Structure 1
Amino acid sequence: MSLRRYLRLALTLAVVLVAVSLVVGNLLGQPILLSYVETGSMEPTMNAGDGFVAVPPAIAGEVETGDVVTFRAQEIQGGGLTTHRVVEETERGYITQGDANPFTDQDDNEPPVRSEQIVAVAWQPGGSVLTIPHLGTAIQMLQGSIQTLQVRLAGLFGTRSLLGLQGLTYLLLGATIVLYILDLYLSDGEQRERDRGRDTGTSTRLLVAAMALGLALAATAAMAAPAGSQEYTIVSAEFESDSPFVLEQGTSMSTNYTVGNSGLVPVVTYLEPRGDGVDVQPRELRVGSQSVENTTLTLSAPPETGAYRRYVVEHRYLAVLPPSMIRTLYGIHPWLPVVAIDALIVVPFYLVGVRLLGTGRIRSRSRETPSRLTRLYSRYR
């Protein structure tokens, strides 16, 4: 393969990776690799529609004043993901502000941002945010087109499984398979000579790897989409109340924390209480196929009156590895079981696929060269 073909292939893969990461990240509500801003609150650093490299907090390290972070807001525009700069650190959390705004988010009734709310940190090489102009604008148009296609296909086939992230995964897998079949068989009708001395055609390894990547995306989505941080707001009051989350100061309450699994593969779930005044027991659950399990959530009110936020972070893994192995990997880092499970699914698929399809290239053939389909037909005729 020539250098030009390598460069074109690399550019194509980069474009696909960017598009998939942005669309999937938007559907998950969790930036993956890249993200973008939708408003002009960060001008002139980032204009509306500009993209940026989103670094997970676990990799970015301790958040400091001056960092641009994406967090789950409570009040800003009705709640949701917001990208603003950290301008101050306090005991209650971070004070954030858009570069174009004359006041902080906390001046506009947004509570101080806790570490548990931060989902990404913008990459700032040399102290400035690396922006990708108009990336968000392009991806919003792409996402709108994909969602329209999903709705129409769901109506055509009469199933909701083609909607959302699951449906997107099916579309990616289907498109990969269709392109593979077209490249494999339809090229037999082209009337041109083949130079056997040149290394031309589409690599079967690349096609199998693309399908394996789709499987990895589906597995990761099944684990990441239902997981995340669950927030509870309690009010510590001077009196008892019938409201479930209004507690007399210094007292506690218990309720069920429900973990459901609508998939066909059992999952292992780990629950992490974050901060004071919250506990979950047991913290490890195995939830069978299409079933529900409950654990006990305990919330405590401090001696001081006021409103307080409590967090429980849920990590979910497909139960395709021994529980002891998942537990060990989880103890090292919560993302390690995801990597191991993806590898367990992808590597055998790739090896079997390459074994069945071979390691050569799919080339266009002349009339004198029988296609794979013709050879199979002749063999079993």
Structure 2
Amino acid sequence: MRRGFALIISISILIFSFSTVLGALMNRPVFVSYITSNSMEPTLSKGDLIFMTPVFFSLEKGDIIVFYSNGEWVCHRIFSEISGGYITKGDNNIATDQQSGKDLVKKEFIAGKVITFLDRPVKIPQVGNYVSEVSEFAWKHKMLMLTLFFLAGLAEIMLGGDKKRRKKRRSRKSLRLHSDQVFLILTFSLLLLATFSGTIWIGSEKIQYGVTSAGGLREEWVLPGQVFQRNLTISNNLHYPMIYAVKGGENSAIDGYFVLWPGESKTLTVTIKAPIETRLYEEKIIVAKYFPLLPPEIAYRLFSINEYIPVLMIDLEILALLAVIHMFGGEKKYYRIRIQPGSFKRKMRNFQLK
């Protein structure tokens, strides 16, 4: 009984940790999310941890959803559905989100539907405050988290097995690796390299401008509400072709994909609608480049959902290819690595004596 309960707790912690880190790496909620305001009081309070399902067949009035709107993730209730999207509202708000100036919520911007029990959302109070800190750390240290997952998997491969096998291994003076283990180590290393490269190739280009009543006196000054254009040049400085995908920011309109060969450049025209408030602005244009291992159109469609999904799909494609190679790779055998206990200490002692 205790062992079963401990197993359930361990699996729950593993799923929760994986969802939190994966969501931070993808910059979107995955299975779990947390409330950041009091707009859903008294149903949900700030700091509550909620659970959601990313797969849903239909949405109805009254469902609580997590969606992306105007640069942030929001958890509100569906107020009504009209042609073109959903109207949403916080339980504690007087007006709907759309009456407050936000866009209609389209299905492609919905991360998931909040899980309920007896018409009440399943939640854990105040735990969301700690999740937000973990998510923020994971997002700032993406490569550290990926490296930790890699090392954890590598440790499981090298040290996995029951206690008897571990005791036998301690008594040996050599490390015995099966060809399957060697394959997994090499696969993990290659996937880590591909993930690292794919992650650092996702960035943004910044276009700065000022909104002022003196718009037009200088090139970077525009009038409030003015629609203007700026050019953005993208170059491929690598030694192999790459797929490029671009996505506009909150006030800019540019979306598309293209392939650049080594040394090639492409100039894009970005259309920007200036806000009404007069001040300095910085428009971020997301620019991502991927290995040409996916059809460009498919890579762009995945990029439109989230810029990190093509990296994951490329990793899966590499994994499938290596699995096929390993499957038909010939005879399986063991490799033995000799280990001499204390040899390092003896060498250091001799070095000090000299």
- Report the TM-score range of the alignment, normalised by the length of the smaller protein: 0.5 to 0.7
Pairwise mapping of residues 38-117 of structure 1 onto structure 2 (< 5 A)? 38-47=36-45, 48-53=47-52, 55=54, 66-72=62-68, 80-87=72-79, 96-102=88-94, 104=96, 111-115=101-105
Cα contact 2:254–2:270 (8 A) shared by 1: yes
Q: Does 1:131 align with 2:108?
A: no
The question of whether the paired residues in 1 share the 8 Å contact of 2:150 and 2:192 is answered with: no
d(CA) in 2 for partners of 1:142 and 1:352?
38
Distance 1:293 1:19, change over 3 A: farther
Which residue pairs with 2:202 in the alignment? 226
How far apart, CA to CA, are the structure 1 residues paired with 2:302 and 2:68? 26
Q: How does 1:127-276 map to 2 (within 5 A)?
A: 128=119, 130-134=121-125, 136-137=128-129, 139-140=131-132, 147=137, 164-183=141-160, 188=165, 190=167, 208=184, 215=191, 219=195, 222=198, 226=202, 242=218, 244=220, 246-247=222-223, 252-257=227-232, 267-271=242-246
Is 1:296 aligned to 2:271, yes or no? Answer: no
TM-score between both structures, scaled by the size of structure 1? 0.54
Q: How far does residue 218 in structure 1 lie from its aligned partner after superposition?
A: 6.9
> CA 1:312 to 1:189, structure 2 compared with 1: closer, same or farther past 3 Å?
closer
1:169–1:214: 8 Å Cα contact kept in structure 2? no
Q: How far apart in 2 are the matches of 1:10 and 1:213? A: 31
Alignment-mate amino acid for residue 319 of structure 2: V
- Give 2:296's aligned residue: 326
Between the aligned partners of 1:191 and 1:225, the Cα distance in structure 2 is 45
SS at match of 2:160: helix
CA positional deviation for 1:331 = 6.3
How far the C-alpha of 1:99 sits from its partner, in A, is 1.9
User: Structure 2: where are the runs of 5+ without partners?
Assistant: 170-179, 278-282, 340-354
- Name the stretch that deviates more: 264-273 or 4-13: 4-13
Partner Cα distance (2:103, 2:111) in 1? 13
Deviations 1:184-228 (A, max 9, x none): 699655379xxxxxxxxxxx79x959x769948973993699379
Change over 3 Å in CA distance of 1:52–1:263 after alignment to 2: farther
Offset, 1:90? 8.2
Q: CA deviation at 1:177?
A: 1.2
Paired amino acid for 1:81: W
Alpha-carbon RMSD: 6.1
Counterpart CA distance in 2 for 1:331 and 1:142 is 29
Q: 2:30 aligns with which of 29, 32, 52?
A: 32
Structure 1: distance between partners of 2:323 and 2:257: 32
Verify the 8 A CA contact 2:249 2:286 in the aligned structure 1. no
> How many angstroms does 1:173 deviate by?
0.3
Percent identity, aligned pairs only, is: 19
Q: Unpaired segments of 5 or more residues in structure 1?
A: 151-161, 193-203, 361-371
Letter paired with 2:222? V
Superposed displacement of residue 84, structure 1: 2.2
Q: Which amino acid aligns with 2:51?
A: F
Partner residue in 2 for 1:366: none
Relative to structure 1, is the Cα distance of residues 277 and 22 closer, same or farther in structure 2, using a 3 angstrom cutoff? Answer: closer
Q: Residues 91, 164 of structure 1: CA spacing in aligned structure 2 closer, same or farther, 3 A cutoff?
A: same
Whole-angstrom CA distance in 1 between matches of 2:240 and 2:162: 35
Tell me how far apart the structure 2 counterparts of residues 27 and 331 of structure 1 sit (CA, whole Å).
19
The Cα shift of 1:166 comes to 1.6
Structure 1 position 348, deviation (Å): 3.5
TM-score normalised by the chain length of structure 2: 0.58
Query: Paired residue for 1:341, among 314, 319, 330?
Result: 314
CA distance in 2 between partners of 1:236 and 1:64 (Å) = 44
Letter of the 2:231 counterpart: N
Q: 1:120 aligns with which of 87, 111, 124?
A: 111
Q: Which amino acid aligns with 2:198?
A: A
Q: What is the distance in 1 between the residues matched to 2:44 and 2:223?
A: 43
Mapped to 1, the partners of 2:192 and 2:62 lie a distance apart of 35
Equivalent pair of 1:216/1:346 in contact (CA under 8 Å): no
Cα distance per residue 1:283-303 (max 9 Å; x no partner): 3234689x996542342769x
In 2, the alpha carbon distance for the partners of 1:92 and 1:265 equals 41
What is the CA-CA distance between 1:171 and the residue it aligns to?
Answer: 1.2
- Separation in 2 of the partners of 1:320 and 1:104? 44
Find the aligned partners of 1:143 and 1:45 in 2 and give their Cα distance: 24
